[in-house]
Amino acid sequence: MLNSNDGATPESNASSNHADRLAPAEEEVHLVPPLNFAMVETGIFRSGFPESKNFSFLQTLGLRSVICLCPEDYPKTTMEFLRSNGIELYQFGVEGYEEPFVNIPDDTIRDAMKVILDPRNRPVLIHCKRGKHRTGCLVGCLRKLQRWCLPSVFDEYQRFVAAKALVSNQSTGHRKTMDDQKPVVP
């Protein structure tokens, strides 16, 4: 394991998961995070709608619950994935709109926030369809509770709204640097 050079830090459940996620590829399996996936806080993740190709990745997060902000039912395969991994589903159906947005009802935000703030539900994944507006709004409210100033809250919100998926025209230089990386043994 790459980060076996420990001894100073007591490892918790969360950091063990973390260590696993830093482990080198024993076999060359590529994990596919859901669209617009990101870590919000320790034990709090955000993304677009999870698909079956994301299941292997999601298993590495050790999720206890998922907050789904879409009104649609999950496909059978997704329900089965949650069941077999012991993941609780909290669904708060909010309609998705293009601009101009409608407000998400206060009660929905409040109820979803209660789920996030209860540590027994974490690690938790918050998601909507594209991981932009509905998810971003809930994360923005969390940032306010964390006392982030509003310009920083909006910057983060905007970063996901502006995201274009599957970019293929990156700089060749940067692609090459990342592509060349072999596991580093400290």
Choose between 72 and 155: whose C-beta lies nearer to its own copies: 155
Choose between 76 and 168: whose C-beta lies nearer to its own copies: 168
Choose between 26 and 76: whose C-beta lies nearer to its own copies: 26
The distance in angstroms from the start CA to the end CA of the chain is: 11
Strand partners, 89: 66
Nearest approach, Cβ of 47 to its own copies (angstroms)?
11
Q: Which of 68, 128, 137, 141 is catalytic?
A: 128
The answer to whether the beta carbons of residues 45 and 125 sit under 8 Å apart is yes
Nearest approach, Cβ of 147 to its own copies (angstroms)?
5
128 is catalytic: yes
Angle, helices 150-161 vs 133-145, to 10°: value is 160
What does each C-alpha distance from 181 to 4, 29, 177 come to in angstroms?
A: 20, 16, 7
3-state secondary structure of 40: strand
Q: How many CB atoms lie within 10 A of CB 18?
A: 16
Q: Which of 121, 129, 159 lies closest to 143 in space, CA to CA?
A: 159
Nearest approach, Cβ of 73 to its own copies (angstroms)?
25
Nearest approach, Cβ of 38 to its own copies (angstroms)?
7
Choose between 80 and 101: whose C-beta lies nearer to its own copies: 101
Which residues, 6+ apart, have CB-to-CB distance to 45 below 8 Å?
A: 37, 38, 39, 61, 63, 123, 124, 125, 126
- Is the bond preceding 151 in cis, omega lying within 30 degrees of 0? no
Residues with a catalytic annotation lie at 128
